[in-house]
Amino acid sequence: MKKHVLTGVALLLAAAGTAVAQPTIDGALGTGESGLYGPILWVQNVPTGFVDNVSGGTCNEANVGNPGTVSTGIELAIPLTAIGSPAGSVRVCVFVNSGDHTFASNQVLGGLPAVSPNLASPRLVDFSAIAGDQFFTATALAGTSPVIDGTKDAAYPLALKLQTTRTGFGDSTDGLTDQANGSELDGAYATIRNGTLFVMLTGNLESNFNKLEFFIDTGTASGFNQLDSASVFQVIDEQSPGDGALQRMQGNGTDPGLKFDAAFTADYLITFGAGGAGPGMISHYPNIADLSVAGGPGVYLGSVLTGSGSGVLAGGTNPDNIEVAVNNSNIAGVPAPCPPPAGNRDNSNGSELDGLYGYIDSAAGKMYLLLTGNLQSNYSKIDLFFDVTPADGQSPLRGDNVDIDFNGLNRMGGNGVNPGLTFDTGVFADYWVAFTNGSGPQVFANAAVLRADGPRKDFGGNNLDYGAYDGGSKPLFDPITFSGPRLDPQDGFTPQIFTNFAPRTAAESLTIDPTMPVGTPGLLRVAIDNSNILGVTTTSAAGAASVTTGLELELTLSELGWDGVSCIKVMGAVQNGGHSVMSNQVIGGLPDGSANLGETRLVNFSAIAGNQFVEICPASPCGSADFDGDGDTGTDLDIEAFFACLGGDCCATCGSADFDGDGDTGTDLDIEAFFRVLGGGEC
């Protein structure tokens, strides 16, 4: 026995020089980190309903499928009187954009070179520098007018353009006329007949309010070849009044602004997205702007149920009777990009939550989390909620929190009709962190403090709590560190204030000087490693415990608002890009066989069996002498497991190698504390 112990001590002292005091925030359970994190706290029991990440295998990226066979999609009838009554042909440049008009896809008609990535910021897009014409031309032809129902009929001539690249905005697999889980533009068909421009764009428009940007060149000498910073445009966006589509795409003094092909000058923009609470409740909301009119509002044309077979718009201002119909049933056309090769850290073609590791390091003032699994590279979200202080926070989630992630936080809250996301009984969320994974690769994180009575406000009703965000190109934000520079002052006139620092500490600095708040960098750090191809599949959760990569966070306890003694409850789930559809990949798990939960505002965890949270408690000063977790204390197996863990090889049920809880691993104090407790003594 003594010889065994001495050998273990020698091994420990040899390994002490390489021990680590805290995890590296890189999205992986690294060498030696299992001794810090300890055993896994939760393991997934439900196969993923949001697609399983698989290795690429054999895939030809240049194979764009069969776009010419698609016959359903987006159909418009635009009387020429609505666009200045042009006498000749009309040109159209159309592409799919993000819901906030700030991230352009690679779905453009007419077409990009093969194997093109998403275009990213429209302010940096220059179509004149891209091979080919990124527009098509509609001419007047004799014949009958098409029926506007979202389905291509014989009234259209042959395709003017066909898609040339796989969609970077998700390949829709829903097969429903109204709902789609991806966006693609497969073909452009158009004609002018009987004084009306008819356009059929085959494909899909995802029902998460991604936008279709439909620019029209009427052939006049006016119009804009570039949306530069000097121009003043109408403001239109049905989802976020005051946040204009054109303003999000025009130059801003740093970026030049969207530029079209040399032969194209934009005179009008029609833009819209589709979304709603689920099948049968999805609508689209077209708007039009005259680019020759400076300032003022654009025109909201009205709405119609998506997939209804009608393009007749109601509830807006539409004197020329523009019609817009959408049929989202296509599941053919162009596919998504080829799956990434096995072990790709930056990209994933599926989403899953396999397990959760976590611990509170009271001495360092940090909490560490590793949520193993994957997040699809299509701007899907992992929303995390923390119950840090008992009897405080929100449940259900309020709908009047700070406006952050394009109001995605409030999209999960109550809206007067639906109650909002509700947590388990006795659980109240008082801090939120959301992570977004995009193609490119792009990574983003958002954070906010959640107070029981809503955001703190000044006497004028303006928020004193921040919406916090950080991220961008993954090579530059790996990890995301919330280290500024943005930190809006409170001037008494700004309803919403934003920051690139962690939100609680940033807001506290307003109490010192509202006009010059002070940011503290590095209070919240987030990274993802998407290389997992094991874990759960779409049919089995058997491999969940084997995964060691995923989303990793370092959270400063003071920033969370921790009281220093309470256990912290962690809730969360994978959601779609609009925070409106919750998957079945939920922390804490769901009953076996559970499908995706659907509309987030209607999810009530208190009505679902089991706990949809994981509790992380501060460690006692010393760990348990039952180090290997088998129920027997004081055996050779406990000693062997302890020294193996000190050397970096911790078993799944082992305690922490920082046995005395002082934040240092691999010291004589850890050994002394272990044998003291093993012998029945006090820590």
CA gap 94, 91 in Å, rounded: 10
CA gap 273, 490 in Å, rounded: 33
CA gap 655, 278 in Å, rounded: 45
Q: How far does CA 661 lie from the centroid of its chain?
A: 36
Whether residue 35 is preceded by a cis peptide bond, meaning omega within 30 degrees of 0, is no
Q: Decide: 444 and 409 in contact? Cβ < 8 Å.
A: no
Q: Is the pLDDT of residue 188 over 50?
A: yes
Q: Is the pLDDT of residue 663 over 90?
A: no
Residue 391: exposure state from Cβ atoms within 10 A (0-12, 13-18, ≥19): exposed
User: For residues 680 and 412, which has the higher predicted lDDT (pLDDT)?
Assistant: 412
Q: How does pLDDT run across 585-625, given as a tens digit for each residue?
A: 999 999 999 999 999 999 999 999 999 999 999 876 666 77
Confidence of residue 629 (pLDDT cuts 50, 70, 90): low
User: Measuring CA to CA, which residue among 30, 32, 28, 1 is closest to residue 646?
Assistant: 32
Q: Is the pTM of the predicted complex or chain greater than 0.85?
A: no
**pLDDT value, residue 406:** 81
Distance in Å from the first CA to the final CA of the chain: 22
Whether residue 485 is preceded by a cis peptide bond, meaning omega within 30 degrees of 0, is yes
The mean per-residue pLDDT over the stretch 275-295 comes to 90
- Per 3-state DSSP, the chain is made up of helix, strand and coil in percentages (nearest 5) of 15, 30, 55
Q: How does pLDDT run across 202-252, given as a tens digit for each residue?
A: 999 999 888 999 999 999 888 999 999 999 999 886 544 445 899 999 999
The mean per-residue pLDDT over the stretch 498-521 comes to 95
**Percent of the chain at pLDDT above 70?**
93
Q: Is the pLDDT of residue 94 over 60?
A: yes
Q: What are the structure tokens assigned to 428, written together?
A: 């109240």
CA gap 315, 211 in Å, rounded: 20
User: For residues 439 and 459, which has the higher predicted lDDT (pLDDT)?
Assistant: 459
**pLDDT value, residue 444:** 94
Q: Is the pLDDT of residue 299 over 90?
A: yes
Q: Decide: 368 and 22 in contact? Cβ < 8 Å.
A: yes
Q: Calculate the alpha carbon distances from 166 to 114, 124, 162, 339, 342 in Å.
A: 8, 21, 12, 12, 20
The mean per-residue pLDDT over the stretch 285-313 comes to 94
**pLDDT value, residue 652:** 63
Rounded to 5 degrees, what angle do the CA atoms 424, 46, 207 make? 80
Q: Decide: 323 and 148 in contact? Cβ < 8 Å.
A: yes
**pLDDT value, residue 55:** 79
